Structure 1
């Protein structure tokens, strides 16, 4: 796993925020592609601090409203256009982007390093990407980035409920999409049509079942199956019809369902035993998959034990 970037502290410094403003900076960072939700209620009166110059990209999606800003690259003013809700803009961190924000800010910022881009290309058996192609300061409407960000938004308010497998799933999908659409990545080898071998599927399920909290990464499970992370994720879906994180969530719900029959256990105890952050997280996930809350299902069994 790549070295983690302290992206929330980085964004706090770039935006010149003091400690009392840190609630507007929320980062999900369980894999190399960190994501930070930034919300500023008032325009910035000062130019943002310069970020470190590094071989990486920042991908920004505007969530609500329209943000007008001035962009400076390597100390020179660059033409920009207002970024409307749903718009996506790219920044090359080697050019040390700095801003004046003329409107409130509500965005999700992704940090994509060169190391992560190289790993995505290697995993796809494709030539490594030289640079992403985009117009600095000009946003584009990208429905794929928009949908992946929509899936991620609830997690910023409950980052402890995000498993590494879910973070890996979003990271792999977003990184691959960016590499293909903006980096021109094309695999030189046709993707395999088959799924996992029987032993690989069994091994993967055993490992995930032994780590119900989801603290194991896709790369860790893939390694046990002698596959790269990307190949494993695609083959697992072909074999099971589910992504690894979806399969793990169902496995946790199945485990919890069995424990509900033990009336000595509270819902909170069952939630912890099956890797959920708390009882509320467990209740929402259970109801979403089974159409009834765990408490209601348990009460049904008390009224009609044979049903």
Structure 2
């Protein structure tokens, strides 16, 4: 236990240092200059401060006030040394944050029990702080485990949809990365961008409810089949809605809105403009861009220039212009994502 002793009287300083030093586990830090003592106290965490009142340039009350105002931990006990007739000073010291007092001349039989009592108080404070830190760490760990399980649930839902769909897992990864990139370019906060990265892969989870003869049909769909296929946003929303997980709720919004068009001609609710949730507008651009530039059993990959042209031409009709501009404005990052999450890998 480190005990800072601050007193400009050499005799008092030596006496208190000796009294402290003869106890195992008590380490005195003696300062005759109050400014040096204050600097040490602010730069370290003493377990007890013993300070005289009458000192040049910085008296004990002001030193206590500075320690309480500037120290990171305000539970360090402070024992002030005063004369018996300095009642007003003691009141001021109490207001400043002193915990107890010693009267001059210093009596060894009084000094040691008071120091022991102050250190016992300090140990209680440290134990309480350690318990609080332990509890906070346990809460952080439990929260991290919940988030990990949540991410696993999201990933497994996305993988379940992959098994029903001829699209590759790499498409799911790429379009989620594109969505997060668009979010960052739009200036969305970090939590929103992270939610996009986690929830975007669930955009087509509603395809779990589409019959195989429609979902896996190699040729064009009939009007009846197309009507059934267009139900997958609502099916996905029904699967995900009502969850206690904010990420899965976010996924429900994406699933329902990612086939809406900016001009109101999309489905299933024919929303338009800002009436479409931002996450739906973002994923619409990310999903279409990657679908166009990826090879499928039924089509070759489009050239990047052709996909870029389609996005530009679709601004204001199919796509939110700001989302298109955000993706195309970070072209080097787009190419990096394509390379990192290639279909072969």
| Same fold flag (TM > 0.5) | no
Under TM normalisation by the shorter chain, which class is it?
Answer: under 0.3
More helix by share: 2
| Structure with greater Cα Rg | 2
More strand by share: 1
> Given the two structures, how large is their TM-score scaled by the length of structure 2?
0.20
